């Protein structure tokens, strides 16, 4: 019975995530076909389990009929003995599986924002310590070198840079946000003086001057486990105060600046114009190409 219930609830979970579009908040939409196919697989397994329970019930009824001459007291005693510690453990185990299948549908999906950046810490391990291979939380630069060897990584970035280095005005859209940023961080000197337009949410990171701010978007490389807050430092002509998580579109001129918090030079966008915008329907961006 519990197996059938788990299969039904899990099938419903995947189905609901796809219908509402919330699946994009857990995995890169590039892989959504995998979870979509799970709906059919789970539905098939659910039907099989229900059929199995049906025939099991019929066999049980037949068995009870054959044993009707037994005393009622003996029957009750036997049922009590069946509720052993093993069954209790199985009940607890199944319940723990059911809980996420239910809460995944009932509870609202939280959108990642500046609170998560604060919670994980605003640091850039790959720039501070090149030997750190275990820092999976990424900030600012969507560094694909974490997912491939150095040779493949340099070939990838070199190939992708050809679509950006020759332009005088670059616009980072939902589709090219992560690719464009990685090229900018790896070829920052080639973009000095060029115009760039982007949008994201504000974040008052540590060690900033009164006229500086970060503009970020949460990006998903493969799934939410490798997500990061990616973006650029903004530098305004005069001091400015913008609260965290305000969405803006900005245009400015690219340059580089030394950021003490990360002990390195990073790209900076010197803002020439900006305007508030509403949060996009899908606030996340995804890595849509890997070659």
Residue 230 has pLDDT above 90, yes or no: yes
Does residue 196 sit within a domain? yes
Residues 98 and 188 in one domain: no
Answer with the residue of higher pLDDT: 61 or 101: 101
Residue 74 has pLDDT above 60, yes or no: no
From 53, 84, 106, give the residue that closes a domain: 106
Q: How far separated are the first and last CA of the chain, in Å rounded?
A: 47
From 106, 127, 144, give the residue that closes a domain: 106
Residues 59 and 135 in one domain: no
Residue 224 has pLDDT above 50, yes or no: yes
**Residue 100: what pLDDT?**
77
Does residue 253 sit within a domain? yes
Does residue 161 sit within a domain? yes
Residues 8 and 152 in one domain: no
Q: How confident is the model at residue 226 (pLDDT cuts 50, 70, 90)?
A: confident
Residues 130 and 20 in one domain: no
The size of the chain, in residues, is 291
Answer with the residue of higher pLDDT: 172 or 89: 172
Residues 19 and 148 in one domain: no
β-strand 212-220 against 285-286: which pairing, if any?
A: parallel
Rounded mean pLDDT of 147-152?
84
Express as a percent the part of the chain with pLDDT over 90. Answer: 38
Residue 227 has pLDDT above 70, yes or no: yes
Residues 94 and 176 in one domain: no
Rounded (10°) CA dihedral 16, 22, 26, 31: 80
**Residue 31: what pLDDT?**
67
Q: Domain limits at 153?
A: 114-286
**Residue 84: what pLDDT?**
73
From 67, 87, 106, give the residue that closes a domain: 106
99-123 per-position pLDDT tens digit: 877 877 777 766 667 777 776 666 5
Please give the Cα distance from 77 to 238 (Å, whole number): 83
Does residue 291 sit within a domain? no
**Residue 59: what pLDDT?**
66
Residues 92 and 136 in one domain: no
Worst-scoring range by mean pLDDT, 4-13, 84-93, 107-116, 259-268? 107-116
**Residue 80: what pLDDT?**
57
Number of domains into which the chain is organized = 2
Rounded mean pLDDT of 59-81?
53
Q: How confident is the model at residue 53 (pLDDT cuts 50, 70, 90)?
A: confident
- If you average pLDDT over every residue of the chain, what do you get? 81
**Residue 127: what pLDDT?**
43
Residues 183 and 47 in one domain: no
Answer with the residue of higher pLDDT: 271 or 222: 271
Residues 93 and 12 in one domain: yes
DSSP per position, the chain: -HHHHHHHHHHHHHHHHHHHTGGGGTB-GGGHHHHHHHHHHHHHHHHHHHHHHHHHHHHHHHHHHHTTTS-HHHHHHHHHHHS-HHHHHHHHHHHHHHHHHHHHHHSPPPPP-HHHHHHH----HHHH-TT------EEES--GGGGS-HHHHHHHHHHHHTTTTT-SEEE--TTTHHHHHHHHHHSGGGGTT-EEEEEEEEE--TT--TTEEEEEEEEESSBGGG-EEEEEEEE-SS-----TT-EEEEEEEEEEEEETTTTEEEEEEEEEEEEE-PPPSS--EE-----
Rounded mean pLDDT of 138-142?
84
Rounded mean pLDDT of 137-159?
84
């Amino acid at each position: 019975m519990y197996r059938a219930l788990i299969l039904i609830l899990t099938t419903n979970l995947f189905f609901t995530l796809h219908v509402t579009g919330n699946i994009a908040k857990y995995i890169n939409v590039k892989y959504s076909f995998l979870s979509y196919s799970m709906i059919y697989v789970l539905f098939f397994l659910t039907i099989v389990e229900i059929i199995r329970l049906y025939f099991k019930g019929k066999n049980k009824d037949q068995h009870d009929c054959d044993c009707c001459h037994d005393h009622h007291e003996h029957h009750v005693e036997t049922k009590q003995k069946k509720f052993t510690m093993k069954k209790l453990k199985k009940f607890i185990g199944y319940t723990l599986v059911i809980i996420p299948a239910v809460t995944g549908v009932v509870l609202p999906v939280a959108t990642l924002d500046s609170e998560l950046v604060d919670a994980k810490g605003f640091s850039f391990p790959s720039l501070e310590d090149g030997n750190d291979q275990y820092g999976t939380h990424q900030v600012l630069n969507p560094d694909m070198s974490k997912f491939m060897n150095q040779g493949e990584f340099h070939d990838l970035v070199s190939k992708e840079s050809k679509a950006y280095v020759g332009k005088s005005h670059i616009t980072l859209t939902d589709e090219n946000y992560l690719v464009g940023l990685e090229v900018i961080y790896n070829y920052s000197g080639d973009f000095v003086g060029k115009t760039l337009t982007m949008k994201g949410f504000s974040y008052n990171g540590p060690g900033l001057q009164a006229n500086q701010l970060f503009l970020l978007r949460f990006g998903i490389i493969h799934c939410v486990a490798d997500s990061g807050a990616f973006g650029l430092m903004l530098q305004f002509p005069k001091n400015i105060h913008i609260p965290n998580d305000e969405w803006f579109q900005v245009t400015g001129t690219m340059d580089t600046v030394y950021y003490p918090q990360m002990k390195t030079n990073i790209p900076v966008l010197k803002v020439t114009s900006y305007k508030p915008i509403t949060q996009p329907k899908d606030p996340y961006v995804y890595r849509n190409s890997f070659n």
